[in-house]
């Protein structure tokens, strides 16, 4: 448990951050927790350092130091969700400014390696040794990402394999893969099914087709291009890649969105064997092909639905595994 002195220091530092006094906040944190053993100390230091970086004309060095403070917070407490959100938001903001998150400011201090720098050096040497063995394999042609969906309905559980076309839709595939690896697609329903057309799911936020957002900041907030990160991650959307030459043939996966451009987030739809919605070509982005289990997609498209096209019996996307 932190001491009363440290807790009082946190409160005072938070007040200074709210007043936009980052230097005062950092001084308070150094005085109240000189050993910096608490995750919250590092998180508040990251907030203060990022604020200072903005006040000093988006100072790259200070931004990078802020990243280092957030990373120290997560190293101390990997379950600190506020630190995780703060770090992700800061990285997105830096990406929008063209600032790389890594660098000397994090790994070195006055020319000497920090603890993180020493770890990085050791890891780098290990990777070099591993690379010496793996180079021949890496020179071989690389295949696309493969997503394996496990879906259950009507007492059965099936697997659907999808080849994701990263070269044709790099942002869509990156977004889908990151959402899947974060577990956002686990136990999410297919909320909209239209026979002879498609089945739609991926709303991990509201489970009814009104929610879901991109895995990270890709330069768009609610469909509008933005030079800096959105005020909330729920505004994250991705730019359209619909003119990639991929068509809405049978057995493909495509990105769902609103009628406005660049509003894709997490929702997607699968096209069954008996559908070929060409009117979606050039509007929605196809980013993968179902290579196994498309017959199951066709079966799902035929389940009974209500007046809102919602399945009467739940169709659940249990998981998406990327290989």
Say if residue 86 is in the same domain as residue 172: no
Residue 102 has pLDDT above 60, yes or no: no
Q: Are residues 308 and 199 in the same domain?
A: yes
Q: What is the domain-level CATH number for residue 181? A: 2.40.100.10
Residue with the bigger pLDDT between 115 and 98: it is 98
171 and 271 inside one domain: yes
CA distance 184 to 203: 9
Instruction: DSSP for 165-208, please give it.
Output: -TTTSHHHHHHHHHHHHTTTTTTEE--EEETTTEEEE--TTTSS
Contacts of 159 (CB under 8 A, 6+ apart): 148, 149, 150, 151, 292, 293
Total number of domains in the chain: 2
- The dihedral built from the CA positions of residue 290, 192, 241 and 151, taken in this order, carries a sign that is negative
Mean pLDDT, residues 134-143 taken together: 50
Averaged pLDDT, 131-156: 73
| Averaged pLDDT of the chain | 89
Q: Is the pLDDT of residue 100 over 90?
A: no
Residue where the block lists tokens 């057309």: 197
Lowest pLDDT segment from 42-46, 123-127, 132-136, 228-232: 132-136
Q: Are residues 185 and 91 located together in one domain of the fold? A: no
Give the range among 35-39, 114-118, 147-151, 257-261 with minimum mean pLDDT.
114-118
CA distance 147 to 254: 14
DSSP letters of 57-109? TS-HHHHHHHHHHHHHHHHH-TT-HHHHHHHHHHHHHHHHHT--S-SHHHHEE
pTM: 0.58
pLDDT attached to residue 121:
76
pLDDT mean over 143-148: 83
Residue 223 has pLDDT above 50, yes or no: yes
Mean pLDDT of the 274-280 span: 96
Residue 137 has pLDDT above 70, yes or no: no
- The answer to whether residue 98 scores a pLDDT higher than 90 is no
Would residue 119 count as lying in a domain?
A: no
Nearest CA among 42, 47, 38, 26 for reference residue 2: 38
Per-residue pLDDT at 107: 52
In this structure, are 207 and 102 located in the same domain?
Answer: no
Give residue 132's pLDDT: 67
Q: Distance of CA 75 to CAs 31, 34, 212, 223, Å?
A: 22, 18, 29, 34
What's the CATH number where 103 sits? 1.25.40
Residues 73 and 161 in one domain: no
Average pLDDT over residues 315-321: 97
Most confident range, picked from 19-28, 60-69, 130-139, 258-267: 258-267
pLDDT of residue 133: 61
Band (122; pLDDT cuts 50, 70, 90): confident
Q: Would you call 153 helix, strand, or coil by DSSP?
A: strand
Mean pLDDT of 152-170: 96
Does 179 share its domain with 297? yes
73 and 149 fall within a common domain: no
What mean pLDDT do residues 124-143 have? Answer: 61
Under the banding of pLDDT at 50, 70 and 90, the label for residue 115 is low
Over 60: is that where the pLDDT of 116 sits?
Answer: no
Dist. CA 309–CA 193, nearest whole Å: 5
22 and 105 part of one domain: yes
Per-residue pLDDT at 142 exceeds 50: no
Domain that holds residue 286: 145-322
- pLDDT value of position 110: 42
Grade residue 134 by pLDDT with cuts at 50, 70 and 90.
Answer: low
The pLDDT value recorded for residue 129 is: 72
* 156 and 105 fall within a common domain: no
For residue 120, is it within any domain?
no
């Amino acid at each position: 448990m932190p001491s009363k002195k440290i807790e009082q220091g946190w409160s005072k530092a938070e007040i200074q951050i709210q007043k936009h006094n980052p230097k005062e906040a950092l001084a308070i944190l150094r005085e109240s927790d000189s050993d910096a053993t608490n995750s919250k100390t590092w998180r508040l230091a990251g907030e203060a350092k990022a604020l200072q970086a903005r006040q000093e004309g988006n100072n790259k060095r200070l931004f990078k130091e802020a990243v280092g403070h957030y990373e120290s917070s997560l190293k101390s407490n990997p379950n600190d969700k506020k630190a995780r959100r703060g770090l992700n938001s800061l990285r997105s903001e830096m990406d929008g400014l063209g600032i790389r998150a890594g660098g000397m400011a994090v790994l070195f201090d006055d020319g000497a390696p920090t603890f993180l720098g020493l770890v990085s050096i050791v890891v780098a040497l290990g990777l070099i040794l591993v690379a010496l063995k793996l180079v021949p394999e890496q020179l071989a042609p690389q295949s696309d990402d493969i997503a394996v969906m496990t879906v259950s309905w009507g007492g059965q559980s099936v697997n659907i394999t999808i080849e994701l076309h990263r070269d044709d839709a790099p942002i869509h595939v990156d977004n889908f893969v990151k959402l899947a690896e974060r577990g956002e697609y686990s136990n999410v329903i297919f909320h909209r099914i239209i026979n002879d057309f498609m089945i739609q799911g991926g709303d991990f936020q509201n489970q009814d087709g009104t929610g879901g957002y991109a895995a990270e900041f890709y330069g768009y907030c609610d469909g509008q291009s933005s030079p800096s990160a959105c005020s909330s991650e729920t505004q994250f959307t991705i730019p359209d890649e619909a003119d990639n030459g991929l068509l809405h043939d049978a057995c493909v996966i495509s990105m769902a969105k609103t009628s406005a451009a660049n509003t894709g987030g997490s929702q997607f739809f699968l096209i069954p064997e008996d559908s070929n919605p060409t009117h979606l070509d050039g509007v929605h982005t196809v980013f993968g092909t179902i290579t196994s289990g498309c017959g199951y997609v066709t079966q799902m498209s035929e389940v009974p639905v209500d007046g809102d096209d919602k399945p009467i019996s739940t169709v659940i996307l249990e998981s998406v595994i990327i290989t």
